[in-house]
Structure 1
Amino acid sequence: MNRESHLVELVANDGIHIGQSTVEDAHQAPDGKLHRAFSILLMDPDGRLLLQRRAAVKTRFPLRWANACCGHPAPGVPVPEAAATRLDEELGIAGVPFEQLGVHLYRAADPVTGLVEHEYDHVLLGRVTPDVAMRPDPAEVAEVDWVEVETLRSGLATEPDRYAPWLAGVVELLPGGAGGR
């Protein structure tokens, strides 16, 4: 099934469920519909983050660097469960426990596709080794790279258009002792 026809949970600004929509409908301009999402940060023991460059066929922000994985839980599916499933689908990584870091609420319009991200984004941190077995799905991921947090922050400040617009807010939720500020 086309991912754009999957259902997402619409939420109010406080994260309370208010309905559902298809992925496609939730991302329509001009404003998009606020919906539940998740962003996974994967960190190695040296404090580096795994980034993925989104595939060229992605409907929103193609070929931009983003966190390891992101997606939308279907209505009624717990965020950690949906995140674990999506991490396996996109990168072939399974069995990673997550720490919930918080929520990043944002809206961003894609200048290339005209679609809008308006998300109540649950940010999850998983810890893995840099040699973790991966099988990136080429329909989702163009490439991956391990990056120092401060190098990433510098890139986000100087070349923001290379990155997905949610990435800066997601990285800001890193705890101080995990490579964050």
Structure 2
Amino acid sequence: MTPDREAHLVELVDGDGYPVGRATVDAAHRAPGMLHRAFSVLLADPEGRVLLQRRAAVKTRFPLRWGNACCGHPAPGQPVVEAANVRLGEELGMTPMPLTELGVYVYRAEDPVTARVEVEYDHVLLGHIAADRPMSPDPAEVDELRWVDLDELRARLDARPDDYAPWLSGVVAKLNLDSQRAL
């Protein structure tokens, strides 16, 4: 994440997701961390595969680990889907698209490399796209993209968890049977 993004404001929340304040991205991710609103976007193609991105080396949290298509933080009071579409544009060069919220995943994770902390009230969003949809990944955000079968991804998460962002298994778990059928 570029230094100017670290100065953006995030919405601090309580355990039920109600706003309780605001902090900069940088402050919210310093130990011990502050619970704040975030989102994780899963993109699925018609074959039931999900798009993974390998996070850029310059990311301040979990660089070079594989994660879902896009993550970010809405500004205080900003609708989550609106913020997610902005980040899809910034990270992957995509135009806005319909996204469905699958639920919330609350987690805490410490990055042993950067000493940053994630304490997030994470809204998990799902979008459907064709695998050949044009994308222009920003190299400051994304090192690599890959389409992966959902069952294969779950097996890889179990076998090599340190290759993946720590939130990915919880985000993928929000894909219930109804949303899997829609894949």
Structures share fold, TM-score greater than 0.5: yes
CA distance in structure 1 between the partners assigned to 2:145 and 2:106 by the alignment: 25
- Corresponding residue number in structure 2 for 1:3: 5
CA distance in structure 1 between the partners assigned to 2:123 and 2:47 by the alignment: 24
- Corresponding residue number in structure 1 for 2:17: 15
For the pair 1:121 / 2:129, whether they are aligned, the reply is no
- Corresponding residue number in structure 2 for 1:174: 175
For 2:94, the aligned partner's letter is I
CA distance in structure 2 between the partners assigned to 1:162 and 1:177 by the alignment: 28
Within a 5 Å distance, the mapping from 1:30-179 to structure 2 comes to 31-179=32-180
Q: Deviations over 1:121-173 (max 9, x none)?
A: 00000000000110000000000000000111011101000000000000000
Q: Give the total of aligned pairs.
A: 179
TM-score by length of 2: 0.96
Query: Which stretch shows the higher mean deviation, 66-75 or 168-177?
Result: 168-177
Query: Structure 1, unaligned stretches of length 5 or more?
Result: none
Instruction: State the SS of the aligned residue for 1:123.
Output: strand
| Residue 176 of structure 1, CA deviation | 1.1
| Residue 177 of structure 1, CA deviation | 4.0
CA distance in structure 2 between the partners assigned to 1:71 and 1:62 by the alignment: 14
- Corresponding residue number in structure 2 for 1:25: 27
Q: Taking every aligned residue pair, what percent have the same amino acid on both sides? A: 63
For 2:131, the aligned partner's letter is P
| Residue 179 of structure 1, CA deviation | 3.5
For 2:42, the aligned partner's letter is L
TM-score by length of 1: 0.97
Query: Structure 2, unaligned stretches of length 5 or more?
Result: none
CA distance in structure 1 between the partners assigned to 2:151 and 2:180 by the alignment: 8
Stretches of 4+ moved more than 3 A in 1?
177-180
